[in-house]
Amino acid sequence: MATRSFVDKQYVLIKRQVTLYTAVSCPGGTGAVTPQKWVYPTLGAGPNARTYQAAPAATALPSGVPYPLQYTSGAEGIRSVARTGVGLWTFTTQDNYQRLVQVSWVQQLAGGVGDIIAVGRNTTPDSFAAQGGSVFGISLMSATATVKDPVASTILFTFVFADGTEP
């Protein structure tokens, strides 16, 4: 299970529920998707960034030191994301979890209307005990209930996991 200290008081029936947030940049069409990392402003150093930038590549497993993990690979709990087919993405977390409880999302566009109306679970790549973090899949769907690659945009995801052993 996750090796980091998460807030333990959430008053839910799921033991040690963990919520992760991530942003994924989509170039539109068949291009590679890129996990994004929020750039926090640095006190006294230039203008406040408050924006996303490409997250560091997940080239190696963490060294076992919990604190810098979210800064050395991936972005705030998500190690990597890959497009594996039309509208199919595979996510790898920085830690291992028991199961994925919920996925929610919002598509950010500079203008216009989003073309993804639903996100489903693609359980084919699932491996919650994989070395280096849990692996799970999602499918992005259009208004016609078919898998679809999104237009150029950023998609913000919220993932809720069960981290503890359940009775």
The 10s digit of each residue's pLDDT in 59-104 is 555 555 555 555 556 677 888 999 999 999 999 998 889 999 999 9
Q: Residue 9: inside a domain, yes or no? A: no
pLDDT score for 103: 96
Domain ranges, residue 49: 17-162
Q: Residue 21: inside a domain, yes or no? A: yes
Residue 72: its H or E element: helix 69-72
Residue 71: its H or E element: helix 69-72
Q: Residue 25: inside a domain, yes or no? A: yes
How confident is residue 25, by pLDDT bands cut at 50, 70 and 90? Answer: very high
Which residues lie closer than 8 Å to 150 by C-beta, 6 or more apart? 26, 28, 107, 114, 115, 116, 140
Mean pLDDT throughout 119-125?
A: 92
How confident is residue 127, by pLDDT bands cut at 50, 70 and 90? Answer: very high
Domain tally, the chain: 1
Q: DSSP letters along 86-132, please?
A: TTEEEEEESS--SEEEEEEEEEE-SSS--S--EEEEEEEEEETT-TT
Q: Residue 23: inside a domain, yes or no? A: yes
Q: Residue 22: inside a domain, yes or no? A: yes
Q: Residue 3: inside a domain, yes or no? A: no
Which residues lie closer than 8 Å to 30 by C-beta, 6 or more apart? 83, 86, 149
Q: Residue 4: inside a domain, yes or no? A: no
pLDDT score for 69: 52
Contact by Cβ (8 Å): 90, 69: no
Beta-bridged to residue 99, according to DSSP, are 162
pLDDT score for 73: 62
Q: Residue 2: inside a domain, yes or no? A: no
